[in-house]
């Protein structure tokens, strides 16, 4: 693909060229389906326009191509792909390395695409008001109807509407053609965005007298234990030729569907004008919306003229009160609570940016299982379906407008449109979510550079005013990294903060957030981004270090799950939890991030690392150890979790650091029936009387404190995990949590045997079409085999298809849109899309393993041409490996291949320096041992190897070298090994062997790292 120039510009100007582009720029050219029945059945006020579109990717690498040519209603689009919405064309393309900036998009391409939908309408629509509503297009959408440009909408994350009245054919015969041009000029975002019409579209049909778009606003200004006042304001539009008197009738039903309140008001409505009606409705003994019991009421609004109902809408809402108090923190319905939040970007792993309600609910239920009660929509307004999921599950929301203002962060982001569009877009954000009881915060931006510039306060003032012009019931805040010290009086940061109701801080130390609270006592503070610790599911390194280096060896790019891999701006999960826990005034925190997402592959910025490492769960939705750390602090039900999640891949006798997270204070560790001792958390109390569990030992995690450890205001310090050091022996390791001498929870790890079979599990699917099926490699006894990575193949029989596959591995170049993927640490996930009613049978196979099957229900309507419909199986996995390998490479420029380039100035090394963080010093600790190896395409006979070491500064010769060769039984030591040193050149001779790989394992020197500038074998 990278070397294919694709069709010329001349080719793309006609239908034949369009067909060529489908083949050149997409995984598979979908066979054309004749639109024999373009008639659109209009039922009710809003009709989905999600099915039956045609799509062509004009250019995957630029935004040049035909302009209005494809908008011509006479254009033949029969050779274009058939797609259903929502649609993301980027996720369908294979990831490719396109240069320094492409990692932000996860190495997926954007470009220019066109969509067309052809439909007829019946005569009954003549004289009615018709509009088309889009929930979101990425990005810069240009919309045409029957060849006429209706307008453009640049911002990808807000919806809009275009009036089609008088522009449509309504004779049931003449086709209408809706055409949309979308562009994604990269880099347009700091993370994967997706491309195309990735949210839903609908046709709205009303009478000339009707409710305005977003015209209903429900608030609950008076709530007591036995009574609530529901206030409804309604905007009514008169597009008729004369004035009318419009009656606005409102009906409230409770969560059980019973009518509990009615109201009516009549307003004069001049022709061509919009007027507002207001009604207060009393509700007795209200059921309050809360995170534990998210009770939803429904409002029905009817517009009646001369006794005839002309328009009807329904609005779900909740009755609740909340407060952000500068000293006492957040409370909901009078109950104090912390915001236990996560940040989530808008992508859905293997689905890309495609919005599906079942996928969103699965993601949010997973977050709830970790103890989450709040979501920050980082860093843009959410899809309507996400708001609905959160209000139904009881998840509070911080809804955010922008990632930048006038000063951009990448070349083609929103700063190009901010001045012209920001007032409209932030108003749309508020209108779209203003009725949701889940929404408690409006954010005007994230880490905007303008916040420390002279023009920033003026911009902030205009955005705040735009929000408050619509809604004064919720605080206006922003998330910022510009307040890590107290602002100087009169500085832009100071002037902005004085306008806001509160502030979300990103990655502040305990001392800095205390300083802000003292200086601005009338403002409330919380952490809009916390921790940012990075990890890879199932990978563990240096448990005795608070911060570790990274392995840059191709194929091994990962980070430790011992809560100890931190970038310069970040904190461990434990530090972030303690800092928030101890401050009553701190409203809570939003963990960065709830789930790994495409793009931003910190700490690696190299192909094929295409996802972030920040998530508590991986991109496939499989929990990491961080999930259980936060679960132990954010939930109360008895639980216990063992770290590492692997009691198989260790050497006999190897000391293994075993950590335990638990909500229970007493835990016993048992290995093969033998107790390794009971350990306990101490019970402690914050200065305001809240209890918590923590050890009492130096944590060493805050260089600003005189003790070197984070110290609570109550004077104590400690850790949020219990620790054992266990010499490995195969068998069963069990953590048993007890309360009052009685077992209340346990976690167990079992040494796995060889891979034997696959198993399939899934969760129940709600609204939406996507189901998530987890495949696990197990041994003959059903134990997960953590080191198993066979290629899994998923097949579907019945009304479904494989919409995508993922295994959570951050370093993986293959496309998600195919039916095969290697397992990673024994697991992978297939996303199955239902295409209709009936029974779906999913089968998973792998060479040499017992097949697994699972049966899922279909759904109607399904999605025929959504994610995975154009998938083609491609050769997946990592980029072709080098002929040299290493267990650990300390830097991007000391990879194993450098041992073979003939340049003595280059070489492999395990040397690393991890920069200091805000609370920890720099780290550069010699490793006790590593290995390097040579591989050949075919086995060869060898008996001598040479390794040229570099000795200088922090580099030293190894204390010992062992040599092994690969056999059918694995690596085995060579015979008769002799090592001769000539300066820093080691010559290793041994009994000759025939092998495809030779490995040198080096015991590190007492002080110093290793560097090999040349490695040969003969």
694 is catalytic: no
Angle at 721 between CA 717 and CA 725, to 5 degrees: 115
d(CA 25, CA 821) in angstroms, rounded, equals: 22
Q: What DSSP line would sit under 730-775, residue for residue?
A: SSEEEEEEEETTEEEEEEEEE---S--EEEEEE----SSSEEEEEE
620 touches 807 (CB < 8 A): yes
Measured CA to CA, the distance from residue 818 to residue 836 in angstroms comes to 20
d(CA 614, CA 750): 28
Active site residue 447: yes
Which residue among the candidates 529, 694, 789, 811 is catalytic per the annotation? Answer: 529
Backbone angles phi, psi at 415, to 5 degrees: -60, -25
- The torsion angles phi and psi of 842, rounded to 5 degrees, stand at -105, 130
Cβ-contact 974, 941 below 8 angstroms: no
- Residue 836, burial from CB neighbour count under 10 angstroms (0-12, 13-18, 19+): middle
Tell me if residue 848 falls in helix, strand or coil. Answer: coil
CA–CA separation, 136 and 386 (whole Å) = 13
324-362 burial, b if ≥16 CB within 10 A, otherwise e?
bebeebbebbeeebbbbbbbbbbbbbbbbbbbbbbbbbb
The secondary structure of residue 933, as a DSSP letter, is E
Q: Tell me how long the chain is.
A: 1018
Q: Which residues pair with 331 in a beta bridge?
A: 323, 336
Confirm if 984 and 957 have CB atoms less than 8 A apart: yes
Concatenating the DSSP letter of every residue in 286-302 gives PPPB-SSSB--EEEEEE
Distance CA(593)–CA(581), nearest Å, equals 18
Q: Could you tell me the CA-to-CA distances from 160 to 156, 157, 563, 716 in Å, in that order? A: 10, 10, 43, 54
Q: Return left, alpha or beta for 6; rule: phi > 0 is left, psi -120 to 50 is alpha, else beta.
A: left
Pick the catalytic residue from 428, 447, 668, 811.
447
Q: How open is the CA angle 641-534-711, to the nearest 5 degrees?
A: 70
How far is residue 648's CA from residue 191's CA, in Å, rounded to a whole number? 36
Measured between its terminal Cα atoms, the distance across the chain in Å is: 38
Structural tokens at position 137? 């297009």
Any idea which residues carry the catalytic annotation? 447, 529
């Amino acid at each position: 693909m990278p070397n294919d120039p694709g069709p010329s510009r001349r080719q793309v100007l006609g239908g034949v060229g369009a067909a060529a582009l489908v083949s050149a720029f997409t995984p598979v050219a979908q066979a054309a389906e004749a639109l024999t029945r373009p008639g659109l059945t209009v039922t009710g006020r809003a009709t989905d326009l999600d099915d039956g579109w045609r799509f062509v990717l004009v250019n995957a690498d630029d935004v040049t191509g035909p302009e209005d040519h494809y908008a011509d209603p006479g254009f033949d689009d029969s050779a274009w792909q058939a797609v259903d919405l929502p649609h993301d064309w980027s996720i369908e393309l294979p990831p490719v390395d396109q240069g320094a900036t492409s990692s932000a998009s996860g190495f997926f391409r954007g470009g220019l695409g066109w969509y067309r939908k052809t439909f007829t309408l019946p005569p009954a629509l003549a004289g009615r008001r018709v509009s088309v509503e889009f929930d979101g297009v990425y990005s810069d959408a240009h919309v045409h109807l029957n060849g006429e440009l209706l307008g453009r909408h640049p911002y990808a994350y807000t919806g809009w509407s275009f009036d089609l009245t008088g522009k449509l054919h309504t004779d049931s015969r003449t086709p209408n053609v809706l055409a949309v041009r979308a562009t994604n000029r990269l880099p347009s975002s700091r993370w994967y965005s997706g491309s195309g019409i990735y949210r839903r579209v609908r046709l709205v049909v009303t009478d000339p007298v009707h409710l305005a778009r977003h015209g209903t606003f429900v608030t609950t200004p008076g709530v007591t234990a036995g009574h609530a006042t529901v206030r409804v304001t309604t905007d009514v539009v008169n597009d008729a030729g004369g004035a009318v008197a419009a009656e606005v009738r409102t009906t409230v039903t409770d969560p059980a569907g019973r009518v509990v309140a009615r109201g009516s008001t009549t307003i004069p409505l001049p022709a061509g004008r919009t007027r507002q009606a207001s009604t207060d409705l009393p509700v007795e003994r209200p059921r309050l919306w809360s995170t534990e019991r998210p009770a939803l009421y429904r409002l029905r609004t009817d517009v009646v003229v001369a006794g005839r109902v002309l328009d009807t809408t329904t609005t779900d809402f909740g009755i609740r009160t909340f407060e952000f108090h500068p000293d006492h923190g957040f409370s909901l319905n009078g109950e104090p609570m912390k915001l236990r939040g996560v940040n989530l970007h808008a992508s859905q792993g293997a689905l890309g940016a495609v919005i599906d309600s079942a996928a969103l609910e699965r993601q949010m239920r997973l977050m709830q299982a970790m103890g989450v009660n709040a979501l920050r929509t980082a860093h843009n307004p959410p899809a309507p379906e996400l708001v609905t999921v959160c209000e139904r599950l009881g998840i509070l929301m911080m809804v955010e407008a922008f990632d930048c203002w006038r000063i951009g962060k990448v070349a083609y982001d929103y700063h190009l449109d901010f001045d012209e569009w920001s007032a409209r877009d932030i108003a749309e954000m508020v209108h779209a979510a203003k009725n949701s009881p889940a929404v408690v915060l409006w954010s005007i931006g994230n880490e905007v550079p303008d916040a420390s510039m002279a023009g920033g306060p003026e911009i902030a003032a205009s955005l705040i005013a735009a929000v408050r012009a619509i809604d004064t019931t919720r605080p206006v805040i922003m998330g910022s990294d510009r307040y890590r010290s107290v602002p100087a009086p009169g500085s832009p940061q100071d002037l902005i903060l004085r306008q806001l109701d509160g502030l979300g801080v990103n990655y502040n130390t305990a001392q800095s957030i205390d300083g802000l609270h003292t200086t601005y006592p009338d403002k409330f503070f919380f952490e809009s981004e916390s921790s940012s610790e990075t990890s890879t599911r199932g990978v563990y390194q240096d448990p005795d270090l608070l911060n570790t280096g990274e392995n840059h060896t191709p194929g091994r790019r990962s980070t430790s799950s011992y809560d100890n891999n931190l970038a310069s701006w970040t904190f461990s999960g434990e530090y972030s939890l303690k800092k928030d826990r101890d401050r009553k005034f701190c409203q809570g925190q939003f963990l960065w991030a709830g789930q790994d997402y495409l793009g931003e592959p910190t700490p690696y910025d190299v192909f094929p690392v295409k996802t972030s490492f920040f998530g508590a769960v991986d991109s496939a939705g499989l929990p990491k150890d961080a999930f259980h750390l936060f679960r132990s602090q954010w939930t109360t039900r008895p639980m216990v979790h063992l770290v590492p999640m692997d009691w198989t891949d260790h050497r006999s006798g190897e000391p293994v650091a075993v950590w335990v997270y638990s909500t229970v204070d007493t835990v016993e560790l048992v290995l093969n029936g033998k107790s390794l001792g009971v350990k306990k958390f101490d019970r402690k109390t914050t200065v305001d009387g809240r209890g918590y569990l923590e050890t009492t030992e130096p944590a060493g995690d805050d260089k600003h404190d005189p003790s070197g450890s984070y110290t609570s205001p109550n004077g104590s310090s400690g850790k949020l995990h219990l620790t054992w050091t266990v010499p490995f022996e195969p068998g069963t390791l069990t953590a048993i949590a007890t309360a009052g001498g009685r077992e209340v929870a346990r976690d167990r790890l079992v040494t796995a045997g060889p891979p034997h079979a696959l198993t399939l599990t899934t969760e129940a699917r709600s609204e939406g079409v996507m189901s998530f099926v987890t495949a696990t490699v197990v041994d003959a006894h059903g134990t997960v085999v953590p080191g198993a990575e066979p290629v899994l193949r998923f097949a579907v029989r019945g009304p479904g298809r494989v919409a995508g596959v993922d295994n959570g591995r951050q370093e993986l170049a293959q496309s998600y849109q195919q039916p095969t993927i290697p397992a990673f640490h024994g697991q992978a996930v297939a996303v199955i899309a239902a295409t209709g009613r009936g029974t779906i049978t999913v089968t998973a196979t792998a060479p040499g393993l017992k097949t697994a099957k699972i049966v899922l229900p279909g759904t109607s309507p399904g999605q025929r041409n959504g994610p995975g419909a154009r998938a083609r199986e491609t050769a997946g996995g990592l980029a072709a490996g080098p002929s040299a390998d290493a267990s650990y490479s300390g830097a991007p420029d000391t990879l194993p291949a450098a041992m073979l380039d003939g340049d003595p100035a280059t070489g492999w090394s395990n040397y690393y320096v991890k920069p200091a963080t805000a609370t920890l010093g720099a780290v550069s600790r010699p490793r006790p041992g590593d290995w390097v190896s040579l591989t050949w395409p075919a086995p060869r006979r060898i008996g001598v190897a040479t390794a040229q070491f570099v000795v200088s500064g922090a580099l030293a010769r190894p204390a010992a070298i062992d040599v092994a060769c690969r056999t059918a039984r694995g690596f085995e030591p060579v015979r008769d090994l002799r090592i001769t040193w000539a300066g820093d050149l080691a010559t290793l001779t041994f009994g000759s062997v025939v092998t495809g790989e030779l490995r040198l394992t080096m015991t590190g020197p007492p002080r110093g790292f290793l560097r090999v500038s040349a490695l040969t074998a003969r």
